[in-house]
Amino acid sequence: MENSLLEDVQICNQLKGVVNLLHNKPSCNCYLLHLVDLVGATLVGVKPAELLNISLTKGGTKFSHWEECKLCLSIKIQLREIKKQNGSVQVFFYHSNSLDTALCNKANLKYLQRFGYPEQYSLEGYVDFLIERLRSSDFPHEIGIFLGYPLKDVLGYMGHSTLKLVKTKGWKIYGNENMSNKRYQSFVRARTKVRAYINSFNDRDSHLFRNLG
């Protein structure tokens, strides 16, 4: 209960500015609301990062909302454009403090260094290395660590563990599912609270969330 209250306070503090952005950017409200929903758990620091393909077109026509929204969101979280293709841009969103905590885990660091990540850790250095790998032809499946997935699940997915696949819920879960379930639920709960908070201050646009996945 105490953790939940702390989480609520954290979410409210982080989203106060976002509500103002929504009111100050009426021309791209629907688009911005959709992005806020997709990255909600990262925006409030519960999920360390998110990788998304963002559409740059609507009905085959280019539009500028992404550039406006990018400036809005970058006030609250970090984002890096990776590559543009087929009318969309791949973007890596991350919450600096949350991602730093995830990457500084000793087991995570040791595993990432097996893939050539620098021995001398720095948050931006590791993000830079990941971005370069995302731009290469081989997808870096170790990105699961950046996205907040338990290491055991990343190991299992990459075939570096003897743990058996238990189920897929948000990602592929291996071995004991308790930790994975708790992690997944924390992401879902944060995203739900983001929706509720935004709706409470932005009622005229609240219907937009009903059609979001």
Higher pLDDT, 48 or 26: 48
- Determine the distance from the C-alpha atom of residue 34 to the mean position of all C-alpha atoms in its chain, rounded to a whole number: 14
- 22 located within any domain: yes
- 17 located within any domain: yes
Give 200's Cβ-side CA count (13 Å radius): 9
Q: Give the pLDDT of residue 76.
A: 77
User: Is the pLDDT score of 143 beyond 50?
Assistant: yes
Q: Give the pLDDT of residue 66.
A: 82
- 148 located within any domain: no
- 167 located within any domain: no
- 210 located within any domain: no
Confidence of residue 205 (pLDDT cuts 50, 70, 90): very low
- 101 located within any domain: yes
Number of domains forming the structure of the chain: 1
- 168 located within any domain: no
Which residues span the domain enclosing 99?
Answer: 2-140+186-203
Mean pLDDT of the chain: 83
- 151 located within any domain: no
